[in-house]
């Protein structure tokens, strides 16, 4: 260890778990792998880290390539480094998860990667350890969103309370009492009610809300406890 020069160098990758919400269900963006090994199998979007880029930069680049989106919520999840995780070579991969507004997603840009949205609960088997990465990401989101207003990153600029609630219900796979849910939400002061209604799902229509960005930033780190009895949910 007295010198660097005869240490083994390795391939370093980033892989992105990209979540989206279509207004009803939580989805994940996968691609058909275009090269060996495991060509043709479903996979996370990833790439090798270049000499001159940081991990965050690499992850953002990949996200931009696949979705055409810039400035999305992106967080490092974990490094995965089992020596056998890729059968062809030793590759350590730093996994990132992204939360995007699915409506902003540009289909043209990604078509060359054969990208497709899947319901998180109906995902195909993934290559290598990508299934583990997705599991870890789901757990992390569940954990974090129970305490912080993370899931707003998945919503479009204006959204309705029923949408928001079904998002939480989807992420935690549970039913939430809507009166308590609304009370909790409004007490955060994060929501601004708009005039307009979304009438696509009911005759009465549901009011649109938007996020108070300032308060969102200010309160993001606070422990807001969005989920009742979280210890019964987080496994």
Partner DNA sequence: ATAAATAAATGTCTAATTAACGTTTATTTA
Partner DNA sequence: TAAATAAACGTTAATTAGACATTTATTTAT
Q: Which does 8 bind (CB under 5 to 8 A by kind): a copy of itself, DNA, none?
A: a copy of itself
C-beta of 81 vs 162, nearer to a copy of itself: 81
Binder to a copy of itself among 24, 34, 173, 213 (CB under 8 A)? 34
Given a contact cutoff of 8 angstroms between Cβ atoms, the answer to whether 16 and 46 are in contact is yes
Considering only the stretches 24-32, 51-59, 115-123, 126-134, report the one whose residues sit in contact with a copy of itself under the rule CB under 8 A: 51-59
Reading phi first (left if > 0) and then psi (alpha if -120 to 50, else beta), residue 68 is in left
In three state form, how does the secondary structure of 70-107 look? CCCEEEEEEEECCCCCCCCCCEEEEEEEEEECHHHCCH
Write the binding mask 159 to 198 for a copy of itself: x where contact by CB under 8 A, - elsewhere.
Answer: ----------------------------------------
What burial class does residue 25 get, using C-beta atoms within 10 Å of its C-beta: 0-12 exposed, 13-18 middle, 19+ buried? Answer: middle
What burial class does residue 4 get, using C-beta atoms within 10 Å of its C-beta: 0-12 exposed, 13-18 middle, 19+ buried? Answer: exposed
C-beta of 147 vs 194, nearer to a copy of itself: 147
Q: Interface with a copy of itself includes 8 (CB under 8 A)?
A: yes
Binding site for a copy of itself (CB under 8 A): 1-4, 7-12, 34-35, 47-55, 76, 78-83, 88-92, 94, 146, 221-223, 230-231, 234-235
């Amino acid at each position: 260890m007295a010198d660097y020069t005869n240490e083994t160098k390795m391939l370093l990758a980033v892989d992105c778990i990209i979540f989206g919400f279509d207004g009803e269900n939580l989805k994940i963006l996968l691609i058909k792998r275009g090269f060996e090994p495991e060509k043709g199998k479903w996979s996370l979007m990833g790439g090798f880290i270049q000499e001159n880029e940081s991990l965050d930069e690499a992850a953002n680049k990949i996200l931009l390539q696949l979705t055409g989106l810039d400035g999305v919520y992106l967080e490092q999840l974990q490094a995965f480094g089992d020596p056998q995780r890729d059968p062809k070579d030793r590759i350590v991969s730093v996994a990132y998860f992204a939360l995007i507004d699915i409506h902003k997603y540009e289909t043209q840009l990604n078509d060359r990667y054969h990208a497709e949205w899947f319901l998180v609960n109906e995902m195909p088997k993934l290559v290598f350890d990508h299934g583990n990465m997705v599991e870890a990401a789901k757990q992390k989101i569940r954990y974090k969103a129970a305490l912080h207003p993370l899931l707003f990153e998945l919503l479009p600029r204006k959204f309705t309370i029923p949408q928001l609630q079904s998002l939480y219900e989807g992420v935690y796979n549970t039913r939430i009492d809507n009166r308590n849910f609304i009370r909790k939400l409004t007490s955060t002061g994060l929501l601004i009610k708009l005039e307009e209604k979304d009438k696509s799902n009911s005759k009465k229509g549901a009011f649109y809300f938007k996020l108070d960005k300032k308060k969102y930033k200010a309160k993001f780190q606070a422990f807001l406890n969005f989920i009742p009895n979280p210890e019964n949910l987080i496994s």
